[in-house]
Amino acid sequence: MGKADFLSPKAIGNRIKSKGLQKLRWYCQMCQKQCRDENGFKCHCMAESHQRQLLLASEDPNKFMDYFSDEFKNEFLELLRRRFGTKRVHNNIIYNEYINDREHVHMNSTQWETLTDFTKWLGREGFCKVDETPKGWYIQYIDRDPETIRRQEEQARKKKQDLDDEERSAKFIEEQVRRGRGDKEEEETPVFTELKRESEEEKVAFNLGASSSVAGPSKSSSALGASALKAAASSSAKRKDTSADTRGEKKKKSALEEIMEMEEKKKKKQSVRLDFWLQPNIVVKVVTKRLGEKYHKKKAIIMEVREKYGAVVKMIDSGDKLKLDQNHVETVIPAPGKQVLILNGPHREREALLEGIDEKNFSATLTIATGLQKGKTVSVAYEDFSKLA
């Protein structure tokens, strides 16, 4: 029987049936062929081309599984990065968009059995931030592209420059207000003159507050009036100074000053801790299983740090050199009395002496051995220091 014509009803029906996703159990990942029904899948399995692919896969099955796993991981992360960026999103939403492509790599051909296993693996390897909720697993992509980091630093620098401009404007306005208040107080300050009379018969009069009194031409009364005027002037000056101090104390901070203080506190907190901690000449332990049992849980010395997050390490047992990410290693805690290097926090890159270990708080007591704070005792978390080589 010949093949149906392109515009025949049968050919059109076959094209309609082949659109969209088909059943996964009738898909052959090795041949990348989707069959429409059980009979078609049976015929495909008996075909010579399928048998040849099975023979190739049987020679090295791990090679093919690793290839499909890498393809699945790369395409999944690329979709997550382009579609959602660094937003937190449900893993099932990303997977549903990923499988819309008919030519996608199916999960049953990878090393992960379920989407949950794949999500947990992404979190362990440091590709994404994952967290479990009653609604399921959520995932957030970690963007470590140098161009993105440079753009973020540029935005932070621009924001700081804008904040500095606002701060200068606020200081200028405050200086103008202060000068205006000073001129006003100088105008309101009374000027006192010496009490004199031109003739002996002229009466001397002075006003104390709301009341007024007239004294005779005697010298004692004039002296009394002068002293009273001086006392009144001194008391009024003291009251003004006290009121000015009270106004200064009661003056509240402006909204701009509060925002500036909050930004400075945030900058101080962010500057204390960094998201990279690798340093040369420290001892670390390999925790990834991707390199096999030969290197798993074995100690190594960091020889060189590359791009902040990667390092070249030398295995202590075998002497082999490996290039690892910081998520593939962990710090090593030596015995008390040994030298360590602080890797993160306010005392970063300081050498110290391990005094004791606090197992309840997952921290250790260190005595700083270098710098201006030499001899100071601090408490540092396990992950923030490591043994010196």
What's the pLDDT tens digit per position in 334-358? 999 899 999 988 888 889 999 999 8
User: What per-residue confidence (pLDDT) applies to 262?
Assistant: 76
Q: Two tokens at 74?
A: 């790369």
Provide φ and ψ at 192, rounded to 5°. -100, 140
Residue ranges for the chain with pLDDT beneath 50: 1, 210-224, 249-250
User: What per-residue confidence (pLDDT) applies to 305?
Assistant: 92
pLDDT tens digits, 3-52: 667 778 777 776 666 665 666 667 777 777 777 777 777 888 888 877 77
| Kind and range of the H or E run holding 18 | helix 9-18
User: What per-residue confidence (pLDDT) applies to 14?
Assistant: 67
User: What per-residue confidence (pLDDT) applies to 148?
Assistant: 75
User: What per-residue confidence (pLDDT) applies to 61?
Assistant: 75
Phi-psi region of 10 (alpha: psi -120 to 50; beta: other; left: phi over 0): alpha
Q: Is 258 helix (H, G, I), strand (E, B) or coil?
A: helix
Single-letter amino acid, residue 296? H
User: What per-residue confidence (pLDDT) applies to 57?
Assistant: 74
DSSP at 281:
T
User: What per-residue confidence (pLDDT) applies to 224?
Assistant: 45
Instruction: Based on DSSP, count helices (H) and strands (E) in the chain, helices before strands.
Output: 9, 17
User: What per-residue confidence (pLDDT) applies to 215?
Assistant: 42
User: What per-residue confidence (pLDDT) applies to 341?
Assistant: 92
